[in-house]
Amino acid sequence: MDVEQDLGKLARYPFLDDAKAYVASLGLSLSELFDHPVYSGCIEAGRKRLIDCRQDAFKPESGDRLTNQLTILSYPVARILAASIGNRYVTQRYARGEAQTVYKLLSSENPETIKEIISDLGIESTDQKMPLTQYLKLVRFIAKENPRFHLVNRIVHAGYVEVNRDDFRLLIREAVMNRVLEPVATSKIPAKLKEMAVKLRASLTGERHVANVSSIDDKALPECIKKMMGLLEDGAATHNAMFILATFFLNLGLGTEDVLNILKKSPKYNEEVARYQLEFLSGDKGGTEYTCPTCETIKSYGLGCSECTFKHPLQRYRMNVKARKYKIRHERLKNKPGQ
């Protein structure tokens, strides 16, 4: 492949081996990039890339030759920054953001490029089938959030697992995340980049727990969450219900102590066990932050509401909050003297 003529593809998928080879062909060290008259912009682009990926808001820039080059170079910069921060939670969130970006891009990518990506990632797949051993490796995390990836819910024949096109995109996403999480050498990075990593560490590791119990609008909680809260207080909450409640409130931004205060409402509450589980679910232990299941998954557990038309309880909660704020503001204006 002539990488000089395909920088746009490498800008979209900088984890590819061809992108790595292209960066190496430039013959520039990190120290040289800081003061380079053309490529120095990749340092700030890498910093922003790390932040945006953590918020699932990254969109790779592409266009002219220089824009593509800076986007390609921003990827190794972001990876080195994430590794230098030295926080597994930050690294995991960053890698997940990179992988999610690829997942979105694949929906409109041409088949030949997708084949190249699959080959580069070492994924073996033919006729919508994947080797069982590889499938199990790729669904380690996603199966914990979505039961349809459990092996008992798949068709397995002659050592292969059947996967449809949508599932396959998700599995590519998981393979990309594994690629991004591969070790990065940080022993010889320049002092300027270390300083940038220190500043990022202070902001990124301190941004997780921004909410508290008092900031949660109980009346805006989705019906399924209210239902599970009732089960919790009755001591009848199943393991799945406890998982959903814990991840729901953690994903809203509550800290461990605040979520513990919610779980204390259960007559079966065990603080030692609950604390350990929350630290695991939040990523403090193990490095992987778990997300609240979708409404479809919650319904499959028998814990959802049949009339619900939303895709995710967090989406429903935020919509309810906006609607309640609008209603309150409207009532105030209606009751304002002279109106």
Both structure tokens of 144: 């914990």
pTM of the model: 0.64
Lowest pLDDT segment from 147-161, 300-314, 320-334: 320-334
Helix (H, G, I), strand (E, B) or coil at 160: strand
pLDDT band per the 50, 70, 90 thresholds, residue 209:
very low
Query: What average pLDDT does the structure give for the chain?
Result: 87
For residue 268, CA distances in Å to 110, 236, 263, 275 come to 53, 9, 9, 14
Residues 6 or more apart in contact with residue 202 via CB below 8 angstroms: none
Domains of the chain: 3-201 (1.20.930), 213-334 (no CATH)
Listed residue (96, 55, 95) closest to 79, CA to CA: 95
Say if residue 329's pLDDT is above 90: no
pLDDT digits (tens, 9 = 90+) for 229-255: 999 999 999 999 999 999 999 888 888
50: Cβ contacts below 8 Å, ≥ 6 apart: 78, 81, 82, 94, 200
The answer to whether residues 295 and 224 touch, using CB atoms and an 8 Å cutoff, is yes
